[in-house]
Amino acid sequence: MNLIDWLIVILLNGSIIVYGIRLSRGVQSSADWFLAGRTLPWWLVGVSMYATAIDASDLVADSGGTYTLGLSYFVTNWVGIVGGWLLGAFVIYPSIYRAGMYTNAEYLEARFSPSVRVLCAFIQVQYRTLVLAIIATTLYLTLSIVCGWGVEAWWGVALIAALATVYTALGGLKSVAVTDSLQFAVMTVAGLIIWSLVWNEVGGWNGISQRLNDHQTGLAAELLHVNYDNVQELNVGDKDAATIERRLIIGGTYDASTGVITRRTPSWLVALAFMIVGVAYSIVNHTQTMRMFAAKSEWDMKMSVWVASAAMLVMSFFNLSMGVMGRALFPDVGELPHGAADSVYPHLVNQFSITGLKGIVVAGVLAASFSTFDSIGSTLSALLTRDVYARLFVHDRDDRHYMRVGQLLTPLIIAGSFLYVPFMKGGMLLFYLDLTSTFVIPLLTLFLMGSLTRVHRRTGLIGILAGAGYGVLRLIAGPIAETYGIQILPAVMTNSFAAYPFSILVTAGTMVAVSLFIGWLPKGDLSHVEQPGWLRTSQLAIQQLDASVDQEPAARWPPLLLASGAFVIGCWLSFVVFW
């Protein structure tokens, strides 16, 4: 990195930050801070949804993931996230939008119980602060590898987090959404430039295939197609028979001639797991729903899905294929800095010495980081303010008090996310996938069951506890089997990919079983309306804003047609073109 590179980084990101702070001058109420006063047009909501979804973790951590998993992970974005946006905007969220709710957790109290609402808030805090830690780690890798920094790279990460905190705390969602759209432009240009250079270096698609197969016969088929089983090999040749037998309790076959335990997951199950991961991201993750709720009309909310989906379909290929190209150029992970697949993206950037290139790419990574630091900071502060602080503790202070609470919580949330950083060493994406199935998927199931079925309201807490209980048992099943030789779950239920559908089945099955015993919810019945106080008056204020907005004419392009078309294209790419 030379002076020109640093000037590019500072100019591109600094101007966006200054503009974000300038926008904060228009924030006067909690509706402004939490939901941008419901003034966001469809195109800005869509761009912001995409910019938040594609953060530094997609550029760096997900490239590390595709270095190992190949194109199968594309299903998460192309089918899961796009399908989740479609399901949320057209099935789950319209009634929530019309009710003037600020958070997706508010719906869970209206449909189930206060305890489920509070659990939703805390699960999302755990879920999204984990993502912030992944982003912090990707920034550290970028600064240490591309810039050649040592320990001081963490000081750079802290500075970036602090800057994101400032304009998020001051400006709220409108500041975040507008800066997201500008950061989207920076990270898109940067991503396309470095992708083009690496694509040329590797020799295009044929070059990737040839290099992968030269390293290992059949490796190209494994990484360049979705329809390929995931195979994990564990070398236990130096272990005694008892240890090998205990490790086989959670699945796999042992080949005595090679001393290797092989665990194979069929491709359809891998694809199904990645689809569920994506749907959960779109529906459970309030960084997405918060933007939809800030749309100036229900039509805008639905139309935003098409914009976000179109960007996702195109840019996922360019962003995530970097990991596969990196595997073709550096097939042995030991060749990469820190001996980690997660370092492949910054290592690829470091191969080129074109003046200004590193500056543009680092600016893109920083822009992607800012867009998610600010989004998660504002989102989690909204959840903790409304669904914990105002719901349980301080019920009826003036509106400005709650806006200040949200602003003060933002730096605490971003700073607290760094506690996850020490757990990133085993692979950021794999750690994320392992933990997500435990708590997030039961929560996703509650949203789906609450919207699509009439399960009894008391099943919400029972279902989420059952699903999370299974998730915890799965996490400890391996260590218990290896240490004590005790099988606490069938082997298939300990599989990381199978955990996703099993989590849904356990949660939904429990809810249906309890409903069969105690009865079903009367049709159209939501059990809770906010009691008098700030939570209720703020909802009424939002409803009044809705009444003052002219709805878009129905004669325009139907949002459902466009959004469904994007979903069909995602399925075609995943299950036909790259299958």
Is it the case that residue 443 has pLDDT exceeding 90? yes
Is it the case that residue 548 has pLDDT exceeding 60? no
Q: Of 365, 381, 366, 369, which Cα lies nearest the Cα of 290? A: 381
Q: What is d(CA 1, CA 355) in angstroms, rounded to the nearest whole number?
A: 9
pLDDT, position 555: 45
Query: Do residues 294 and 266 make contact, with C-beta atoms less than 8 angstroms apart?
Result: no
Query: Do residues 126 and 341 make contact, with C-beta atoms less than 8 angstroms apart?
Result: no
Q: Which residue has the higher pLDDT, 34 or 426?
A: 34
The Cα-based distances of 283 to 84, 105, 388, 461, 525 in angstroms read: 6, 11, 20, 18, 22
Q: Which residue has the higher pLDDT, 136 or 332?
A: 332
DSSP symbols for 136-170: HHHHHHHHHHHS---THHHHHHHHHHHHHHHHHHH
Q: Which residue has the higher pLDDT, 310 or 416?
A: 310
Q: Where are the beta strands (DSSP E) in 236-342?
A: 253-255, 260-265
Q: Give me 110's structure tokens.
A: 């209206």
Residue 253 lies in a domain: no
The Cα-based distances of 369 to 185, 412, 472 in angstroms read: 13, 17, 30
- Residue 96, domain CATH: 1.20.1730.10
pLDDT, position 179: 67
Q: Of 325, 313, 410, 294, which Cα lies nearest the Cα of 41? A: 294
Q: What's the rounded mean pLDDT across residues 308-315? A: 92
Q: What is the CA radius of gyration of the chain?
A: 24
> Residue 523: which domain range?
3-229+266-577
Q: What is d(CA 431, CA 306) in angstroms, rounded to the nearest whole number?
A: 31
Burial class (CB in 10 A: 0-12, 13-18, 19+), 426: exposed
pLDDT, position 216: 87
* Cα 192 → chain centroid: 22
pLDDT, position 33: 65
Q: Give me 246's structure tokens.
A: 């205990």
pLDDT, position 569: 96
Query: Do residues 408 and 378 make contact, with C-beta atoms less than 8 angstroms apart?
Result: no
Q: What are phi and psi of 420, to 5 degrees?
A: -80, -20
What's the mean pLDDT when you consider all of the chain? 82
Q: What is the DSSP letter of 357?
A: H
Q: What's the rounded mean pLDDT across residues 440-446? A: 94
Q: Dump pLDDT digits (tens) for 14-68.
A: 776 676 666 656 666 667 667 777 888 998 889 888 877 776 666 676 777 788 8
pLDDT, position 386: 87
Residue 394 lies in a domain: yes
Q: What is d(CA 493, CA 319) in angstroms, rounded to the nearest whole number?
A: 32
Give the torsion through C-alpha atoms of 71, 76, 82, 88, to 10 deg.
170
- Tell me how many degrees the CA angle 12-50-123 measures, rounded to the nearest 5: 110
3-class DSSP state for residue 280?
helix
Q: What's the rounded mean pLDDT across residues 263-288? A: 91
Which residues make Cβ contacts (< 8 Å) with residue 328, sequence separation at least 6?
A: 202, 207, 208, 211, 212
Q: Give me 53's structure tokens.
A: 């979804």
Q: Which residue has the higher pLDDT, 67 or 363?
A: 67
pLDDT, position 380: 82
* Ranges 5-9, 40-44, 440-444: which has the least confidence: 5-9
- Which residue in the block uniquely carries the two structure tokens 């915890």? 472
Q: What's the rounded mean pLDDT across residues 510-530? A: 81
pLDDT, position 456: 93
What is the amino acid identity at position 449? M
Predicted confidence band at 312 (pLDDT cuts at 50, 70, 90)? very high
pLDDT, position 349: 79
Q: What is d(CA 502, CA 55) in angstroms, rounded to the nearest whole number?
A: 29
Residue 568 lies in a domain: yes
Q: Give me 536's structure tokens.
A: 């209720």
Letter string b/e over residues 362-379, b meaning 16 or more CB atoms within 10 A of that residue's CB: bbbbbbbbbbbbbbbbbb
Q: What's the rounded mean pLDDT across residues 495-522? A: 94
Highest mean pLDDT (candidates 187-201, 205-219, 350-364, 432-446) = 205-219
DSSP symbols for 33-93: HHHGGG-B-HHHHHHHHHHHHS-HIIIIIHHHHHHHHGGGGHHIIIIIIHHHHHHIIIIIS
Which residues make Cβ contacts (< 8 Å) with residue 96, sequence separation at least 6?
A: 104, 106, 107, 293
Q: Which helix (H) or strand (E) holds 230?
A: strand 230-235
Q: What total number of domains does the chain contain?
A: 1
Q: What is d(CA 326, CA 314) in angstroms, rounded to the nearest whole number?
A: 20
Residue 411 lies in a domain: yes
Q: Which residue has the higher pLDDT, 548 or 100?
A: 100
Residue 249 lies in a domain: no
Q: Dump pLDDT digits (tens) for 95-148.
A: 888 888 888 888 999 899 899 999 998 888 877 777 777 777 777 777 787 777
Which residues make Cβ contacts (< 8 Å) with residue 507, sequence separation at least 6?
A: 441, 442, 445, 446, 449, 463, 464, 466, 467
Query: Do residues 106 and 386 make contact, with C-beta atoms less than 8 angstroms apart?
Result: yes
Letter string b/e over residues 97-117, b meaning 16 or more CB atoms within 10 A of that residue's CB: bebbbbbbbbbbbbbbbeebb
Q: What is d(CA 270, CA 28) in angstroms, rounded to the nearest whole number?
A: 47
Is it the case that residue 546 has pLDDT exceeding 70? no
Is it the case that residue 388 has pLDDT exceeding 70? yes
Predicted confidence band at 434 (pLDDT cuts at 50, 70, 90)? low
Q: Which residue has the higher pLDDT, 163 or 258?
A: 258
Q: What is the DSSP letter of 548?
A: T
Q: Give pTM, 2 decimals.
A: 0.87
As a 3-state breakdown, the chain gives helix, strand, coil percent values, each rounded to 5, of 80, 5, 20
pLDDT, position 433: 66
Residue 68 lies in a domain: yes
Predicted confidence band at 425 (pLDDT cuts at 50, 70, 90)? low
Q: What is d(CA 300, CA 155) in angstroms, rounded to the nearest whole number?
A: 40
pLDDT, position 475: 87
Mapping DSSP onto H, E and C, the string for 205-224 reads HHHHHHHHHHHCCCHHHHHC
3-class DSSP state for residue 231?
strand
Highest mean pLDDT (candidates 122-131, 261-270, 525-534, 538-547) = 261-270
Residue 461 lies in a domain: yes
- Tell me how many degrees the CA angle 556-557-563 measures, rounded to the nearest 5: 140
* Cα 29 → chain centroid: 29
Query: Do residues 376 and 287 make contact, with C-beta atoms less than 8 angstroms apart?
Result: yes
* Ranges 31-40, 63-72, 503-512, 567-576: which has the least confidence: 31-40
With pLDDT > 90 as the criterion, what percentage of the chain qualifies?
A: 26
Query: Do residues 230 and 267 make contact, with C-beta atoms less than 8 angstroms apart?
Result: yes
Predicted confidence band at 211 (pLDDT cuts at 50, 70, 90)? very high
Q: What is d(CA 280, CA 447) in angstroms, rounded to the nearest whole number?
A: 10
